[in-house]
Structure 1
Amino acid sequence: MSQDLNSKLLLLKHWLKMAPSWVRHGSPLKMDEELIFFPTSATQQEDGSWIIPVHAWFFELDKNSIMRLLSVKAVSELLEFMDVTEEQARLPIFQERIKWFLVDNESNKRIHIKLDGELHRSPRSKLSGHLQFDIPYQGKPEEAWLKLPVDMPEQDTREFFAETQLIPRQGLSVISDIDDTLKPSNVLDKKLLIQSVFLKEYHAVEGMPAFFQWLSNQGAYFHYLSSSPWQMYPLLKPLLDQYYPRGPVHLRNFNPSNRSFIKFFMSSEVYKTTKAMNIIHRYPEHQFILIGDSGEKDPEVYARIYREFPHNIKQILIRAVDGSNLHQKRFAEVFAEVPKDKWKVFAEPSHSLLDM
């Protein structure tokens, strides 16, 4: 080790010793700060124990969102791209949705999760305000979902819970896209897509809630996968809760301070492929139904996944979206290495699409 590097390390150690405790060990949640937990899924080990992932987001809601609109690069670009007027920017629906992109993310936060009488200390939250860590669990719960409370200071009466679904080693799972699969989003037209995100009421694609409920009745577990940013979770949650079976949600990291909204929404293929493969890796003894739409690259993503995991894929279902490339040539080329009985393009969802 060079003398210069050694000197820098000694200086760093000295600084850490002199730094306040909250810098060295992380600080607790303050009264004016908020915490959101994202639903996760636990994996069962060979000995019957579980690994429970915890994913949290720490932030403080900005009380002057209107004043910050034009100061955030991505939001300024967004308003120009959408042709949003000042009147529209003051609409309650726009204010409610844009506020999640204008929060102050809180780094260096720590919490303690209570499970079976023990406290599990989290790592410190990152600059994004997010933290993720795993908790081992030896219990044998009777319910499919486990709620893990946060140990809060006495003066803070708020309650926060992490939630995880205990998915057994073997079973049937659904990996589903969200945009234009579960809710109309106009993904093919980026301007309409972003307008639908911030200015339109959300609703479910006709027939999909009943189809997903039927799949749930067959014992399926659900993983909801979208290239949307995590800031969208509070907006998507009411729709998913009302219309679809419970399941973990997988979204993307996005920093509106230094990244383009437009480019972000146009770069999803690699993310969705990687995330879906990670899910299959975590549940290697499951059979998977992959559900998406023809709007962008879901067929290409799912065909690649089939090539990697041919024995895990029970069925690929692609919802036909008006205005997208529905030519038979496209699907013949994309699914050239996928058996014909393993994929279907559908206009209306029905349990007849599957041989259960």
Structure 2
Amino acid sequence: MGSALRRLHWDLRLQPFHGYGSPTTVRVLAKVLYASPGAPADFHDQPVHDMRTMAVRGWRNFASQVAPYRTVHIRIGEQQFSVRADRTGIVDVQLDVDLEPGRHEALLWTVPGNEVSADITVFAPDATVGLVSDIDDTVMVTWLPRPLLAFWNAFVVHQSSRQVVPGMPMLYQRLARQFPEMPVLYLSTGAWNVFPVLKRFLYKNGYPDGPLLLTDWGPTNTGFFRSGREHKERALRQLAETFPEHRWLLVGDDGQHDPSTYADFAAERPELVEAIVIRQLTESEQLLAHGTLRPLERRNHGDLTPLVVTAPDGHTLLSALQHAEVIR
């Protein structure tokens, strides 16, 4: 496929994602794709003028041909690295660096002329509390059955189809004021292909900026869709290894496996969990999430279970966290 596209004068392009890390190690994320002649070097720089444009972009994001195993060059500050994409074209690497806390840019390219920049947020080492948040049904609702959600995210990306969960932006802003150095990461089973759409939704609705940890689209050895639970478990363990001094607020919903996934992580590393915050779905949302009116069962680990706060929206979650003195 790659040689045929090159004969048609398609070029390699990089889709950068928002990376993160500590002053000594950062995680750089990107995807290597083939693009038609004349396509912009940075997919994120394409202007969005109306909803029809966004729908076309959503289709192209999933129809693009990935370029596996390509060498990608990365420059961060004065340091330069060469890495290889995996078989799905994804670059996901940990690099040893020497950076100050704050926002940085990494320059990525495969060949001279297709350079793109990727945001890198270096979290302050003295931050005591971080926030890990699910996306679907936690900060936004699409009102679709979960089996259709991946298809909808792939091919229908109208902003009007996504509704903000009441009170959640206010809750996250309040947490950001309470903990000024708080790292914020959004951990979702959504595909990397919809990264620009999700970023725009979060920005438009006033959520704190932060890296998105998504998954990849396409078949695996066990099925067509990747395991969302395994993806979240791996991401939490990686955060624990990179930031052993941080305690995390783990925010999700009770429509799928967030309560048990977070409880399992708290049982493994109780010293790293500040609280588990669960948004309770309505009966209609539960039905769309997994086909029944009741939440999926939660796993309890007895004395190892940290503070667990549940409520139907951000306003009541804020009150509950204030009552528990997590937020002053």
SS in 2 for 1:251: strand
Quote the sequence identity (%): 23
C-alpha distance in structure 2 between counterparts of 1:280 and 1:188, whole Å: 32
Count the aligned residue pairs: 287
Give, in angstroms, the shift of residue 165 of structure 1. Answer: 1.2
C-alpha distance in structure 1 between counterparts of 2:149 and 2:84, whole Å: 38
Matches within 5 A, 1:159-170: 160-170=116-126
Alignment partner of 1:113 out of 40, 64, 74? 74
Match of 1:302 in 2: 262
C-alpha distance in structure 2 between counterparts of 1:150 and 1:339, whole Å: 43
- Cα offsets for 1:8-42 (capped at 9, x unmatched): xxxxxxxxxxxxxxxxxxxxxx9843211111221
Instruction: Give the TM-score taking structure 1 as reference length.
Output: 0.70
Match of 1:125 in 2: 85
SS in 1 for 2:14: strand
Instruction: Give the TM-score taking structure 2 as reference length.
Output: 0.75
Give, in angstroms, the shift of residue 338 of structure 1. Answer: 5.4
Q: Which consecutive unaligned segments of at least 5 residues does structure 2 have?
A: 1-8, 38-51, 287-291
C-alpha distance in structure 2 between counterparts of 1:193 and 1:111, whole Å: 29
C-alpha distance in structure 1 between counterparts of 2:19 and 2:216, whole Å: 16
C-alpha distance in structure 2 between counterparts of 1:193 and 1:126, whole Å: 22
Alignment partner of 1:58 out of 32, 45, 48? 32
Equivalent pair of 1:318/1:345 in contact (CA under 8 Å): yes
Match of 1:213 in 2: 173
Question: Structure 1 pair 99/296, CA: closer, same or farther in 2 (3 Å)?
Answer: same
Structure 2 counterpart of 1:55, one-letter code: L
Match of 2:320 in 1: 353
Give, in angstroms, the shift of residue 185 of structure 1. Answer: 3.3
SS in 2 for 1:311: helix
Match of 1:278 in 2: 238
C-alpha distance in structure 2 between counterparts of 1:296 and 1:35, whole Å: 33
Match of 1:17 in 2: none
Alignment partner of 1:204 out of 155, 164, 188? 164
Alignment partner of 1:248 out of 188, 202, 211? 211
Give, in angstroms, the shift of residue 317 of structure 1. Answer: 0.8
Give, in angstroms, the shift of residue 179 of structure 1. Answer: 0.6
- Cα offsets for 1:53-91 (capped at 9, x unmatched): 22221112469xxxxxxxxxxxxxxxxxxxxxxxxxxx7
Alignment partner of 1:147 out of 105, 112, 116? 105
C-alpha distance in structure 2 between counterparts of 1:196 and 1:56, whole Å: 19
Give, in angstroms, the shift of residue 186 of structure 1. Answer: 4.0
C-alpha distance in structure 2 between counterparts of 1:258 and 1:341, whole Å: 35
Equivalent pair of 2:229/2:257 in contact (CA under 8 Å): yes
Give, in angstroms, the shift of residue 99 of structure 1. Answer: 1.6
Which of the pair has more CA radius of gyration? 1
- Cα offsets for 1:143-184 (capped at 9, x unmatched): 611112347877x3x651122111133421011111110110
Equivalent pair of 1:42/1:51 in contact (CA under 8 Å): yes
Structure 2 counterpart of 1:353, one-letter code: A
C-alpha distance in structure 2 between counterparts of 1:341 and 1:110, whole Å: 43
C-alpha distance in structure 2 between counterparts of 1:192 and 1:132, whole Å: 25
Match of 1:41 in 2: 20
C-alpha distance in structure 2 between counterparts of 1:312 and 1:260, whole Å: 33
